Amino acid sequence: MRKRQRRSLREIAESVGLSKERVRQVLIELGVSPRPRSPKSNRKNRLQLTEEQLRQRYGCTLEELGRIQGNRLMEDRASPVGLYRMQRNRSLWLKRGWAFTLPTWWALWEAHWPNRVRGHLVMAPLNTAQPIGPGNAQVITRSELMKQWHKRK
């Protein structure tokens, strides 16, 4: 009743002749969350952005975002937008600078995306003295990055 019909604890209690508190206890014993789960559409709606917000945050239009992101949730950290945000925030936190928009970042990653395994491919600057962006970034394996780092030392 709780999951399939999305009925409240009070509605379930009235239909089975128990108190609301006893229904909550039974649900917990059965491993069912007594709290209602919000539908995924609410999560998507929470993260919808206006065209102006898209241009400011990601430098793209709604159509470009749809082409890059597909039907994945914006908050999915394993999606293109999730990785873009993570890399941008890390670069800014390290005070390296960031010159990518989402479409220019995707142009670099798109060919590598199907082969990307968590922790295997990384984006690295060609010149660490400049902001990371188009012309100053490459997608390489983590082991290649470590070899380059050891050669510099």
Q: How confident is the model at residue 34 (pLDDT cuts 50, 70, 90)?
A: low
Percent of the chain at pLDDT above 70? Answer: 84
44 within a domain of the structure (yes/no): no
Q: What is the pTM of this model?
A: 0.65
Q: How far apart are CA 146 and CA 62, in angstroms?
A: 37
- Do 112 and 138 sit in the same domain of this protein? yes
DSSP state, residue 121: E
Domain extent for 29: 1-37
Q: Quick one: which of 91, 94, 69, 80 has its CA closest to 136?
A: 91
Phi, psi of 141 (to 5 degrees): -75, 160
Rg of the chain over Cα atoms, rounded to whole angstroms, equals 23
Residue 1 placed within a domain: yes
Are both 32 and 55 inside the same structural domain?
A: no
More confident residue, 57 or 77: 57
Does residue 54 sit in the same domain as residue 23?
Answer: no
One domain for residues 97 and 120: yes
- pLDDT score for 98: 93
**Confidence check: pLDDT of 35 > 60:** yes
User: How far, in Å, CA of 14 to CA of 98, rounded?
Assistant: 58
Residue 73 to residue 70: CA distance in whole angstroms: 9
Residues 6+ apart with CB under 8 A from 115: 121
pLDDT in tens, 60-81: 988 898 899 887 877 777 889 9
Q: Are residues 100 and 145 in the same domain?
A: yes
Give dist(CA 122, CA 116) in Å, integer: 9
For residues 31 and 58, membership in a common domain is answered with no
pLDDT average, residue stretch 28-56? 67
